[in-house]
Structure 1
Amino acid sequence: MAQPIDINSVSVDIDNSPTMEIQSPIEPVRTQTTDYSEILRRLAGIHAAYVPCFTICISLDFLFTMMTLVVGSANIHGCPLEPMIPTYLVVSSVFNLLSIVLSTVACTCHLRGKDKDLTGFFFVIFASIAIIIIQLFRFIWLILGTIWVFKNFNQVDYNPYNTQSMYCQAGLYQYAMLAIVFQYITPLISCCCKNFPFRKQT
């Protein structure tokens, strides 16, 4: 007959007993989201890394735009050789002025944190898309202006008393040439001014 076991006399060494580590088969998933609004702001030039430089670039662009508008509108009939030259200057300056206004207002809203609410956010996004569309139009318009101006480079006559059909007012034509060259250069300078991180904003 089996003898009863005294439970009080049984000892178990827990420290030396084998242990099993159960690893969870599910690892934490790391997600990374893309801020498309920031991409739009950068493309539109609204993301200003250095406010004083952005202000200087916008001011110079505004002065150039107003000069172009004055020269084009004051000589709207001053180029029988190519009547589209003054029209090119006027249209280009009007769309550039619209781009400056949208960029300035949207950048101010962004820097002041107004785009944190829904209305400000949609305004900044709308302004970014509008600026990108305007810039695309201005690029096409610049190519057309280049053709209108430089195709007549060898035929232009600055003397209105010689041949009227080949006449173009000297200041208008020369300014149009300089404006076109300037517009090919300034996007690079403006992009650097608006987006280059000279110092971090506090």
Structure 2
Amino acid sequence: MAEEEPPLYKDVPENSGAPPPTYQSDVAAEEARPVMSGTEPPPSYDSLFGKIKEARTEHGNSFGFFKALLAILGAAIGGIVCVACVAALMAFPIAQLVIGLQNQDQCTINNKIPLFLIVSGACGCAAAVLQIMDQMCCSDTDSSGERRSKCPCLGFILHLLNLFCFAWFICGNVWVYKIHKTVDYDDPASEEYCGKLVYLFAFWSITAVYVALGATCVIGCGCVCLMACLG
């Protein structure tokens, strides 16, 4: 015996009190809809505030929440610092190159100082470009998740360039720091004359490297001590 089809809604008399008819497609769709249990955790949030709120929900004690908060903020700040470092790494060598080219004949006491800025700026720009190319175009991960380069020749060139930059940096230390107390900024006719901009930029370019290395060591030791204290 064929199943009797339910009447259409327009065929139901008005004020009959009967509920609207149900259809098999609606029932199947309702049964197939997933039902979330009361104990199921809410979906994760992509925003910083959502991650902090989720960490607060997961960790009942304040110490666990504090550790999770440090991890979340560290990841967020790390991305900003990374972008800032890339921008600085590109801007700084460009400034060295421009200042060195504009002041090639402005350092009588040692004409190698403008050359130091020119070569340092050119090598810095080249190293930054090669590093970006190696990260974006020539890198891959193996089955264990470790990064490996698909362009070993590019990595070899980058290593050679870094070695040359290190050796050139040592030469710049000798040229710049050796005349620090005898350089003359005012008299272009003097044998000890060097343009104030070119010399001071070279001097602080070298000094900034030592300051950055010292700050990195201090911050690294502080992070290790903090991680050890937090377990």
Q: Specify the TM-score bucket, using the shorter chain as the normaliser.
A: 0.5 to 0.7
CA contact (8 A) 1:109 1:115 kept: no
Amino acid of the residue matched to residue 156 of structure 1? V
Q: Give 1:131 deviation, angstroms.
A: 1.5
CA distance in 1, matches of 2:197, 2:216: 26
Partner-residue secondary structure (3-state), 2:208: helix
Q: Give 1:184 deviation, angstroms.
A: 3.4
- Residue 174 (structure 2) aligned to one of 133, 147, 161: 147
Q: Give 1:61 deviation, angstroms.
A: 0.7
CA distance in 2, matches of 1:89, 1:63: 14
Q: Give 1:173 deviation, angstroms.
A: 0.7
CA distance in 1, matches of 2:142, 2:106: 46
CA contact (8 A) 2:134 2:149 kept: no
- Stretches of structure 2 lacking an aligned partner (at least 5 in a row): 1-77, 224-231
Q: Equivalent residue for 1:32?
A: none
Q: Equivalent residue for 1:182?
A: 208
- Of stretches 101-110 and 73-82 in structure 1, the one that deviates more from structure 2 is 101-110
CA distance in 2, matches of 1:60, 1:101: 13
Partner-residue secondary structure (3-state), 1:78: coil
CA distance in 1, matches of 2:101, 2:158: 24
Runs of 4+ with >3 A deviation: 50-55, 113-116, 184-192
Matched, 1:80 2:89: no
- Residue 199 (structure 2) aligned to one of 159, 167, 173: 173
Q: Equivalent residue for 2:86?
A: 58
Q: Equivalent residue for 1:91?
A: 119
Q: How many residues align?
A: 139
Which structure would you say has the larger RCO, counting Cα contacts within 8 Å and 6 or more residues apart? 1
Partner-residue secondary structure (3-state), 1:164: coil
Q: Equivalent residue for 1:158?
A: 185
Q: Give 1:186 deviation, angstroms.
A: 4.3
CA contact (8 A) 1:79 1:169 kept: yes
Q: Equivalent residue for 1:109?
A: 137
Q: Give 1:55 deviation, angstroms.
A: 3.4
Q: Give 1:185 deviation, angstroms.
A: 4.3
Q: What does the per-residue CA deviation read over 1:129-156, in whole Å, with 9 as the maximum and x for residues that have no partner?
A: 2221111111110110011011111111
- Stretches of structure 1 lacking an aligned partner (at least 5 in a row): 1-49, 197-202
CA distance in 2, matches of 1:72, 1:157: 18
TM-score, scaled relative to structure 1:
0.59
Q: Equivalent residue for 1:70?
A: 98
CA distance in 2, matches of 1:85, 1:169: 10
Q: Equivalent residue for 2:155?
A: 128
TM-score, scaled relative to structure 2:
0.52
Cα RMSD of the aligned pairs, angstroms, is: 3.0
CA distance in 2, matches of 1:157, 1:88: 19
- Return closer, same or farther for 1:177/1:102 CA change in 2, 3 Å cut-off: same
Q: Equivalent residue for 2:60?
A: none
- Return closer, same or farther for 1:177/1:121 CA change in 2, 3 Å cut-off: closer
Q: Give 1:171 deviation, angstroms.
A: 1.0
Amino acid of the residue matched to residue 155 of structure 1? T
Q: Give 1:86 deviation, angstroms.
A: 0.2
- Return closer, same or farther for 1:115/1:155 CA change in 2, 3 Å cut-off: farther
